[in-house]
Amino acid sequence: MPQMSPISWLSLFIFFSIIFILFNMMNYFIYTPNSSKSKKLFNINKISMNWKW
């Protein structure tokens, strides 16, 4: 079983690193949150913070 040269290991590391970075970037930029839900949650939290002593 032959051993791999260090250049081959380096090229594999670079190749998989680029794939990993591209995959994470696609997942980050594809996601779009719904604004209506966030507004509702913000209003609920705002109302619940009114303390009456």
Which pLDDT tens digit goes with each residue over 1-53? 467 677 888 899 999 999 999 999 999 999 877 766 555 555 555 555 666 66
- Does the residue 1 lie in any domain? no
pLDDT, position 53: 65
- pTM to 2 decimal places: 0.52
Q: How far apart are CA 45 and CA 16, in angstroms?
A: 43
Number of domains in the chain: 1
Task: Tell me the two tokens of residue 14.
Answer: 């670079």
Q: Give the Å distances, CA to CA, from 14 to 4, 19, 22, 37, 52.
A: 15, 9, 12, 40, 59
pLDDT, position 13: 94
* Domain housing 43: 6-48
- Does the residue 44 lie in any domain? yes
pLDDT, position 46: 56
Q: How many helices (H) and strands (E) does the chain have?
A: 2, 0
